[in-house]
Structure 1
């Protein structure tokens, strides 16, 4: 799942883990955050769930959803990797 944050409103990965654990149990494999330099806050990240069923529960039929975790609002959508150019 692809996640985005408002500028200056990033959230710690541990808060994301805890939110989903409380809501749906032990369902998150990993939370990946944008790598930044110079102390800048990440603007996006990805959540890897143990099953695609959790992704469907979170989106509930929508393409894009907004959730609140504490004082933070994050937007979530299905992650679609960019196709790689395999032509040599």
Structure 2
């Protein structure tokens, strides 16, 4: 209802597994912009399972259909850290 009233441009979900996300996509008029997975991460940690991101640092370029043209590798701070002279006295 809030989305339809124009109060926010997005909706979010929390701890949706694949089947819930599919249901949301099938029945909702609005696609979620975010799926917060805090409890899933905590569950995996409790059971010794490592949770990783789908796209590693800089992986957005290979997944432009998901992330658009944004690349964290264009960030000036990361470029400076990548500079071979970073942190060295000349």
TM-score band, normalised by the shorter chain?
A: under 0.3
TM-score, structure 1 as length reference: 0.26
Higher Cα Rg, which structure: 2
TM-score, L = length of structure 2: 0.26
* Greater relative contact order structure (CA < 8 Å, 6+ sep): 1
